[in-house]
């Protein structure tokens, strides 16, 4: 595991080396793995990770269903609510469906409409790893939405490297370091040999150079 002070030093270097911009940049981390056969689905990583401080960006959520779940979705301020008719309509509008799938990071759906989702939206959501989390009747989705607002999705498929947003330049190095620590802990817990299967870790701002984190 990487010491917090090491992460903070790397983040400071990344910010210092980045060209000055008039907008807030994202801070990204890249993890390169090794000694893993990614052709085997069991070795692939597919995780939703809660970041202690969020990544500083708006995480868009879509809720699919009707009744109480819609009321709760409105109270939670989710970006998109779709009932059964809208789900079916999108199935016949592939361009619009692709846009919905790409613009929203997380989907929640009542269990009653999951069959509709699979039929009409599955081809758009499935390949992107965004099939909805099924929500049983009577479940309060508000705490789920609150958690997802501060979460990131990691899905490696058959790749040995992956990147994700862990903060912005407006956040402190300490906050971003704690986010990175949460990501690393989850990833290492999924690797059979832990640290020995991590080749390297880098951090960077959107427009800046990559800075290697000393492992």
- 161 shares a domain with 144: no
Last residue of one domain, picked from the residues 148, 171, 199: 148
pLDDT band at residue 2 using 50, 70 and 90 as cut-offs: confident
**Phi and psi, residue 90, nearest 5°:** -65, -30
- 107 shares a domain with 156: no
- 143 shares a domain with 124: yes
- 137 shares a domain with 75: yes
**Phi and psi, residue 26, nearest 5°:** -80, 155
HEC letters along the chain: CCCHHHHHHHHHHHHHHCCCCCCCCEEEEEEEECCCCCCCHHHCCEEEEECCCCCCCCCCEEEECCCHHHHHHHHHCCCEEECHHHHHHHHCCHHHHHHHHHHCCEEEEEHHHHHHHHHHCHHHHHHHCCCCEEECCCCCCHHHHHHHCCEEEEECCCCCEEEEEEEECCCCHHHHHHHHHHHHHHHHHHCCCHHHHEEEEEEEECCCCCEEECC
* Nearest-angstrom CA–CA distance, 118 and 91: 10
Read off the pLDDT of residues 110-147 as tens digits, 9 standing for 90 and up.
999 999 999 999 999 999 999 999 999 999 999 999 99
Domain count, the chain: 2
Mean pLDDT score across all residues of the chain: 95
Give the mean model confidence (pLDDT) for residues 2-27: 94
Last residue of one domain, picked from the residues 133, 148, 163: 148
Residue 94: how many other CB atoms lie within 10 Å: 11
- 203 shares a domain with 169: yes
- 89 shares a domain with 43: no
- 166 shares a domain with 108: no
Give the mean model confidence (pLDDT) for residues 6-21: 95
- 156 shares a domain with 118: no
Query: Which CATH number is 50's domain given?
Result: 3.30.190.20
- 10 shares a domain with 26: yes
- 87 shares a domain with 46: no
Last residue of one domain, picked from the residues 132, 148, 164: 148
Query: Which CATH number is 87's domain given?
Result: 3.40.50.790
Which residues form the domain of 91?
A: 61-148
Given a cut of 90, is residue 84 above it in pLDDT?
yes
- 184 shares a domain with 144: no
- 97 shares a domain with 29: no
The model's pTM: 0.92
């Amino acid at each position: 595991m990487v010491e917090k002070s090491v992460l903070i030093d790397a983040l400071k270097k990344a910010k210092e080396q980045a060209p000055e911009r008039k907008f807030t940049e994202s801070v990204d981390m890249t993890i390169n793995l090794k000694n893993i056969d990614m052709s085997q689905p069991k070795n692939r990583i597919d995780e939703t990770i809660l970041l202690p401080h969020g990544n500083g960006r708006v995480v868009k959520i879509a809720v699919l269903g009707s009744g109480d779940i819609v009321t709760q979705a409105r109270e939670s301020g989710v970006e998109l609510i779709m009932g059964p008719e809208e789900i079916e309509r999108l199935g016949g509008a592939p361009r619009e469906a692709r846009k919905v799938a790409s613009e929203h990071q997380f989907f929640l759906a009542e269990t009653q409409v999951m069959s509709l989702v699979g039929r009409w939206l599955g081809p758009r959501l499935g390949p992107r790893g965004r099939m909805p989390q099924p929500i049983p009747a009577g479940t309060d989705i508000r705490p789920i939405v609150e958690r997802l607002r501060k979460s990131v999705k990691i899905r490696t498929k058959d790749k040995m490297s992956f990147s994700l947003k862990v903060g912005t330049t407006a956040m402190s190095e300490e906050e971003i370091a704690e986010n990175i620590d949460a990501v690393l802990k989850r990833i290492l817990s999924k690797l059979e040999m832990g640290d020995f299967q991590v080749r390297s870790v880098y951090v960077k701002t959107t427009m800046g150079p990559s800075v290697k984190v000393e492992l």
